[in-house]
Amino acid sequence: MKNNNILAVDAMGGDFGPSVVVPGALQAAKQCGAKILFVGLEDKIQEVLDTLPDDLKAVDYSIVHASQVVEMNEKPSDILRQKKDSSIQVACRLVKDGEAHAVISAGHSGACVACGMFIIGRISGVERPCLATIMPSKTTPRLLLDVGANVECKPYHLFQFALMGAAFAKDILEYEEPRVGILSIGEEEGKGTSTVKEAYDLLKVAQHLNFVGNVEGRDIFIGDVDVVVCDGFVGNIALKLSEGLAFSLTHVLKKELTGNGLLPKIGAFLAKKAFLKFKKKIDYAEYGGAPLLGLKGISFVCHGSSNKRAIESAVLMANTYIEKDTHNKLLNSLKENEELTSFARSV
């Protein structure tokens, strides 16, 4: 299965660099037929390629050398100014210049956002691109945005996040009419900060948006909502809290199921299948990356500790994003509500 999609993959990103990025991306390309451009230190990438089985090395790929590597403790502004030949900058320029259709990186998230904004560029009228992440729930996955790109937001930023999130959920998660809610401290209209209340007023009159009103934190996992909108400060806390809780629950369950004595061992054996299903359901690697919505091009930002499976999932999702032409559908949603956004910005 071969397609014409070209994906620029930051091979140096993440805690494990090429050792997981290269095989993960190739495994995805083997499934979807896209071409991979590995961006980074050529010798390091080649070292990993030399260790891989022939079926992965047969996938269509090439290496684009980038001489600099971004460190996690560096400031995004310094990276933009001082590391012009870093793997994330080179990968973003490939998208800007039309040599790749999307960029995928597990590197410095701040650098990914900054390079996306200042190299790939923002969609006209979008002041703040946002990071969206897929969250597990008791039924179907939920989309939470923003999860860290924008610490402080204005009402029309949240409004645009909702429009872009709904377009993504409709196409990628295949929800016919995604239910959109704004995260607040109560379900009643009028609850929340002044920003939340003003965003609520915009959302309830938006064109072609299934807005269900305010939702609370628990609704991310058990409520009747598909897309949850908030600023990046709140969203990042919600995301990290959820990750910590999932890790803690997994650890506690494992400890209880593998305790001393015969009965816990029998219980562990009988519950093994259910435990594995639970672990898979809460594993971020199932979805891989968070799309950076609002850019002129396509960008996916992966978790810093991404494993091979997470990289594979992110590359597959980026390919699906291209195949379904989600970017243009997102643009259309923004255009339909352009007058409302302009009005909100002027107030």
| pLDDT digits (tens), the chain, 347 positions | 667 899 999 999 888 999 999 999 999 999 999 999 999 999 999 999 999 999 898 899 999 999 999 988 889 888 999 999 999 999 999 999 999 999 999 988 899 999 999 999 999 888 899 999 988 877 888 999 999 899 999 999 999 999 999 999 998 889 999 999 999 999 998 899 999 999 999 999 888 899 999 999 999 988 899 999 999 999 999 988 887 877 777 777 677 666 666 666 666 555 556 555 655 555 555 667 889 999 999 999 998 888 999 999 999 999 999 999 988 888 888 888 888 777 777 76
Q: In what order do the strands lie in the sheet with 298-302?
A: 61-65, 35-40, 6-10, 102-105, 298-302, 289-293, 130-135, 142-145, 227-229, 179-183, 210-215
Q: Which two tokens stand for residue 209?
A: 């948006």
Q: Which two tokens stand for residue 106?
A: 């597990």
Q: Which two tokens stand for residue 279?
A: 């672990």
Q: Which two tokens stand for residue 239?
A: 């995301």
Task: Write the CB contacts of 73 (distance below 8 Å, at least 6 apart in sequence).
Answer: none
141-180 pLDDT, tens per residue? 899 999 989 999 999 999 999 999 999 999 888 999 999 9
Angle of helix 326-336 relative to helix 338-346, nearest 10 degrees?
60
Residues making up the chain, counted from first to last: 347
Rounded-to-integer distance, Cα 186 and Cα 301, Å? 31
pLDDT of residue 283: 53
User: Quick check: 41 and 70 in contact, CB under 8 A?
Assistant: no
Count CA atoms closer than 13 A to 241's CA, side-chain side: 11
For the chain, the average pLDDT equals 87
Strand segments, DSSP code E, in the chain are 6-10, 35-40, 61-65, 102-105, 130-135, 142-145, 179-183, 210-215, 227-229, 289-293, 298-302
For 188, counting Cβ atoms within 10 Å of its Cβ (0-12 exposed, 13-18 middle, 19+ buried), the class is exposed
143-154 pLDDT, tens per residue? 999 998 999 999
Q: Which two tokens stand for residue 210?
A: 């299934």
User: Quick check: 10 and 35 in contact, CB under 8 A?
Assistant: no
Task: Write the CB contacts of 72 (distance below 8 Å, at least 6 apart in sequence).
Answer: 108, 304
Rounded-to-integer distance, Cα 23 and Cα 49, Å? 8
